[in-house]
Amino acid sequence: MRFLILSTEGAARAREAELSAVTGYPNPATNTDRAVDVLVHSDGRGAVKIPDYVWSWAHGRAVSVEALLTEIETAALYTPDEIIADGWFPSDEDL
């Protein structure tokens, strides 16, 4: 898992909504509202959790979330160690 850190919570929620929509979420049949989650830092930044794969209702198979990102977003992804060092979590146990 990696993280796409954006300047505001709103920007992260908007990007989450786009990624979820592309993969067929929300899905009322399963009561699932999104494909990826958003974290919020105390300084107001938002981060989209980018797992390796999610189930795509739109494609009928698991899809790579990273493949749905732009080149700039992919190059900017943070590792769990990097967001811990940036003060998002005290340790990897809190991810």
Per residue in 22-78, pLDDT tens? 999 988 888 888 889 999 998 999 999 999 999 998 889 999 999 999 999 999 999
Query: How many domains does the chain fold into?
Result: 1
Question: Judging by DSSP bridges, how do beta strands 46-50 and 38-40 pair with one another?
Answer: antiparallel
Q: What is the pLDDT of residue 88?
A: 87
User: Which helix (H) or strand (E) is 61 found in, with range?
Assistant: strand 61-64
Give all strands of the β-sheet with 2-6 in edge-to-edge order. 2-6, 46-50, 38-40
Enclosing domain of residue 78: 2-94
| Mean pLDDT along residues 79-88 | 91
pTM for the whole thing?
0.87
